[in-house]
Amino acid sequence: MAPVGSVLVGEATYRATRGLFDYQPLPPVRVKGKAEPLPVWVAASARGRLGVAVDQGPATPFLGREAELGQLQRSYATARDEGSVRLVTVSGEPGVGKSRLVRELRAFVDAQPELIAWREGHCLPYGEGISFWALGEVLKAQAGILEFDDPATVAAKLAGTVAAVVEEPAERQWLETRLAPLLGLASDMEARTGTPEQAETFTAWRRFLEAVAARRPLVLVLEDLHWADDALLAFVRHLAEEARSVPLLVVATTRPELFDRDPDWGQGPPGRATTVTLAPLSDADTTRLIAALLGRAVARDRAHATLLGRIGGNPLYAEQVCRMLDDQGLLERETGRCGSPPPRRSCPTRSRR
């Protein structure tokens, strides 16, 4: 049914991805095994160049995390004013608001008068050769390396980036050799120089980040650290303990299972490491969030109490449940009742899994 060279999606995929892609509706189609025609959409374009809405502003108000945001802001101010490294681990269950908290920190930092370097890397849950993927993303962003750059262009950008922060030619070469594996240039470099020991590699990576932070304050964000392997965790610990005399804030987001795997995580030198734990939102904040999602105050009735129980103070669940109710036509916006059914339909008390 899909037009040549295009992607056709059904209703479930359309609703799940309409925030990332622009779609055009097509006439309903008949397919085998379905009695009624199915609504379909053709994907027209991606809304974000990277396939994720990295620059999309939040659609809901920032609620119930003022104290935690204050901790992050103070850690940044301390790193900036004292010229020291700080490691803040933001822990919480999926959907509880870790990435949103980081976005609020970025907005705060952007509003400050000083220029800063903000770099983000993401730990991946699967794949080969991804031990230091997050650091590779950080280095690519610092060097302006694009995914379609050929190896020669990547090497040239790396050399220019190192030269911009390091003056000594011998140190530049040493850093380039040990940074190259993060960019997929390891085979050529290792063939000429041999594989350096991990301690020396960690030292080189730290020295480079120190050089970047020496020019302007550096905020290094590592998302989903619970998926990092032991080698990356060892480097982050090395960075937090050994970096000296530079304004560097390391923010790592993680699920609680990281602490089951590494009970001593985040217990670095006194004053350098902090853990911010995000608890579920209170019922009052969840109610305010639901009202913002629906665009109308909600009635404090039995249906609302059921919603609160199902959402459990999780902002992502609140967004998904309210979207599902809206998509199914189970909202009466005129009365502000969330979950009230239209005539002749029953209202489910449980959200879809």
Of 277, 307, 330, the residue that ends a domain is: 277
**Domain's final residue, options 10, 37, 56:** 56
Residue type, 353: R
CA distances from 51 to 139, 215, 232 (A): 20, 32, 25
Could you list the residue range(s) of the whole structural domain that residue 309 is in?
283-338
Does residue 47 lie within any of the structural domains? Answer: yes
**What is the pTM (predicted TM-score) of this model?**
0.78
Split into its structural domains, the chain has a count of 3
CA distance 58 to 61: 7
Determine contact, residues 77/70, Cβ cutoff 8 Å: no
In this structure, the answer to whether residues 201 and 257 fall within a common structural domain is yes
Q: Verify that 5 and 101 share a domain, yes or no.
A: no
Mean pLDDT, the chain, rounded, equals 85
> Do residues 167 and 39 both lie within one domain?
no
**Inside any domain, residue 301:** yes
What was the pLDDT predicted at 320? 85
Q: What is the pLDDT of residue 330?
A: 64
Residue 23, amino acid = Y
State which H helix or E strand residue 337 sits in.
Answer: strand 337-338
Residues 71 and 210 in one domain: yes
Question: Within this chain, do residues 217 and 104 fall inside the same structural domain, yes or no?
Answer: yes
Q: How far is CA 44 from CA 15, 18, 40, 174, 210, in A?
A: 15, 11, 13, 47, 44
Rounded to an integer, what distance in angstroms lies between the CA atom of residue 119 and that of residue 109?
Answer: 13
350 part of a folded domain: no
Q: Hey, which bits of 80-196 come out as E strands?
A: 85-91, 117-122
pLDDT band at 89; cut points 50, 70, 90 = very high
d(CA 348, CA 345): 9
Are 268 and 126 in a shared domain? yes
- Locate 294 and state its tokens: 């629906």
215-241 confidence digits (pLDDT tens) = 999 999 999 999 999 999 999 999 999
Residue 146 and residue 35 share a domain: no
Query: In the Cβ-directed half-sphere of 156, how many Cα atoms lie within 13 Å?
Result: 6
